Amino acid sequence: MKATSLVIGLLGLILAAPSVADGAHMAQALQVCAKIERDLDRLDCYDRLAKQTSKTLTATPAPSTPTRDHKRDLVVSGEQAFGMERQLEQQTPDEITSRIIGEFHGWNGKTIFRLENGQVWQQSNSGRVVYHANNPKVTIKKGFFGSYRLYVEGLNASVAVRRIK
């Protein structure tokens, strides 16, 4: 929590600079946002950066962009999310596909799965499976009551997991 506050404070200093639209300041501000671990805090950082940047840019007509479905683009956090949990839940996919980084030997109780997409998942139930593969493709699917299951390509078994990063 202290690290997030520090990063947000640093972002405030960067955004207070006279010309955030300047390339050097923008790159520095983007790096600060990228280091925030919590998804919603990181997105909030990018949103504040975008708002500050738009204030410093000269008023030139924006290029035409396709119309977006704002219901699907809705991003809220904290009190704004209160009462909208079901709508927000519907915005996330039912499954993701990635690869486990490096050699995979199965799972044995508290196994950690590091994926190419940067996510880190941990086995959330007991059980043991031995299976050897290099960079295997995995699919993680939503289950009931907020649970998730990880499936490894070529393996006729799955394991309950929870996301830790």
Instruction: Give the tens place of pLDDT for each residue, 34-54.
Output: 888 888 888 888 778 777 765
Question: Strand runs (DSSP E) across 24-165, as ranges?
Answer: 95-99, 103-107, 112-114, 120-123, 129-134, 137-142, 148-152, 158-163
Q: What percent of the chain has pLDDT over 70?
A: 64
Residue indicated by tokens 């980084």: 101
Instruction: Give the tens place of pLDDT for each residue, 95-139.
Output: 999 999 999 999 999 999 999 999 999 999 999 999 999 999 999
Residue indicated by tokens 């907020």: 146
pLDDT at residue 151 is higher than 70: yes
pLDDT at residue 77 is higher than 80: no
The whole-angstrom separation of Cα 44 and Cα 40 is 6
pLDDT at residue 81 is higher than 50: yes
